[in-house]
Amino acid sequence: MATTLTRLAPAPVALKPAEQDQGHFSNDAPVPHGGFGKTLGIFWKMLFHKPRSTRPLGEIPVHALTRQQLLAAPDHSVFRLGHSTVLLKMRGKFWLTDPVFAERASPFSWAGPKRFHPPPISLDELPPLEAVILSHNHYDHLDHKAVIQLADKTRYFLAPLGVGDTLVKWGVDASKVRQLDWWQGTEVDGIRFVSTPAQHFSGRGLFDGNQTLWCSWVMIDGARRIFFSGDTGYFDGFKRIGEQYGPFDLTLMETGAYNVDWPHVHMQPEQTLQAHIDLKGRWLLPIHNGTFDLAFHAWHEPFDRIMALAWERNVSITTPPMGQAFSLNQPERGYAWWLEVETQGVEEQVVS
């Protein structure tokens, strides 16, 4: 496999690669497991006792995008396409995180969490991509069909260890795949990408748990620095990343699908905000929300809570609707578009 990878030089903070035990990756700090009974209980509750509020009453606003609009957009434009799928324009080229365009975040086309909204742009309409940047292999972050459709128009796939092997098995040309351990970096067209730790887990079936790595990503384009969290619980790794690579102009931070039953692998909004501060972030764009119902909280709760917390702590936050551009060159605060969704839904119920 043709790769250009480097292990970072010694730094003031400890930089530990991911550890494997008998073929399974683990987090820096042990993450408690609830056991089969607890897991079964969560799935049962997901299937039969999920509150109505986990799905929007009204229609999610989507700013439809065309290829021409994207080609005309200035550098350092950021487009949220849904969940953790974010399109970045840097150096005149396009970079896509965790592409999920499927109708459901599930191994099945007929069951599992269903999208609240269509993607702002189709896979066919997307311009050629310089790289797809993957955080881990869960279904709401790694969409098999999307990867296959993107393979011919994507120059590189950047992935944590083991996830790249999955891509090759799916038919992606091995010369396009770069697999990185934690704290390994690679360069594409002058932009530096570093795979950094996250506190999570992996698996796409019953018997492949933690056989591939999970990670967050640092992106360095000259003076611009962007952080992409992937999926993670709160841990001291954010401080280490901030010390090593901060400050960040923008953090794309997981804010959603949290619950007291899985506190170590997804962050509560208070922890998301603290992680952003640990990273020395300037602007916070909350992701991992607004597209799928993956927990028991109201679909709009992550937006409500992170917005209130950011205002309270005087943190610059942006919450653009799906498809609307956010510019790092001229950043602007977002508005609470999700409130209109619920108001519209209530009005429609009253009329009907």
CB-CB neighbours of 272 under 10 Å:
29
Query: Does residue 309 lie in a domain region?
Result: yes
The residue among 228, 231, 222 whose CA lies nearest residue 95 is 228
User: Are 98 and 115 a contacting pair, CB within 8 Å?
Assistant: no
> Among 159, 148, 147, 133, which residue's Cα sits nearest to residue 3?
159
Instruction: List the beta bridge partners of residue 254.
Output: 287
Residue 80 lies in a domain: yes
DSSP-assigned states of every residue in 122-178: -TTTSPPEEEEE-----TTT--HHHHHHHGGGEEEEEEETTHHHHHHHTT--GGGEE
Which residue blocks in the chain are alpha helix, DSSP H?
35-48, 67-72, 144-150, 163-169, 237-245, 269-278, 301-312, 337-351
Report the alpha-carbon distance of residue 287 to residue 293 in Å, rounded: 13
> CB count, 10 Å around CB of 236?
12
Q: How far apart are CA 320 and CA 225, in angstroms?
A: 20
Looking at residue 345, its pLDDT comes to 61
Q: Is residue 21 one of the residues assigned to a domain?
A: no
Residues 6 or more apart in contact with residue 169 via CB below 8 angstroms: none
Longest dimension (CA), the chain: 65
Task: Check if the beta carbon of residue 63 is closer than 8 Å to that of residue 334.
Answer: no
* Cα 350 to Cα 340: distance, rounded to the nearest angstrom: 15
Q: What was the pLDDT predicted at 33?
A: 72
Check which CATH number belongs to the domain holding 108 and give it: 3.60.15.10
pLDDT on residue 1: 36
Written as six digits, the tokens of 6 are 């480097």
pLDDT of residue 42: 66
Quote the CA–CA distance of 2 and 192 in Å, as a whole number. Answer: 17
pLDDT in tens, the chain (352 residues): 334 566 554 444 458 899 888 889 999 988 877 665 666 666 657 766 789 999 999 999 999 999 999 999 999 999 999 999 999 999 999 999 999 999 999 999 899 999 999 999 999 999 999 999 999 999 999 999 999 999 999 999 999 999 999 999 999 999 999 999 999 999 999 999 999 999 999 999 988 999 999 999 999 999 999 999 999 999 999 999 999 999 999 999 999 999 999 999 999 999 999 999 999 999 999 999 999 999 999 999 999 999 999 999 999 999 999 999 999 999 998 789 999 998 776 556 655 5
**Count of the separate structural domains present in the chain:** 1
Q: Is 14 among the domain residues?
A: no
Q: Residue 336 domain-assigned?
A: yes
Instruction: Check: CB of residue 271 under 8 Å from CB of residue 235.
Output: no
pLDDT at 10: 40
Q: Does a structural domain hold residue 165?
A: yes
Determine the pLDDT at residue 54. 97
Q: Quick check: bond before 247 cis, omega within 30?
A: yes
Residue 36 is predicted with a pLDDT of: 53
Q: In this predicted structure, what is the pLDDT of residue 23?
A: 87
pLDDT given at position 32: 79
* Per-residue confidence (pLDDT) for residue 3, from 0 to 100: 45
Token digits for 40? Answer: 């079964």
In a domain, 17, yes or no: no
- Domain assignment present for 143: yes
Structural domain span for residue 191: 63-351
Report phi then psi at 322, rounded to 5: -55, 125
Nearest-5° angle of CA 4, CA 225, CA 15? 60
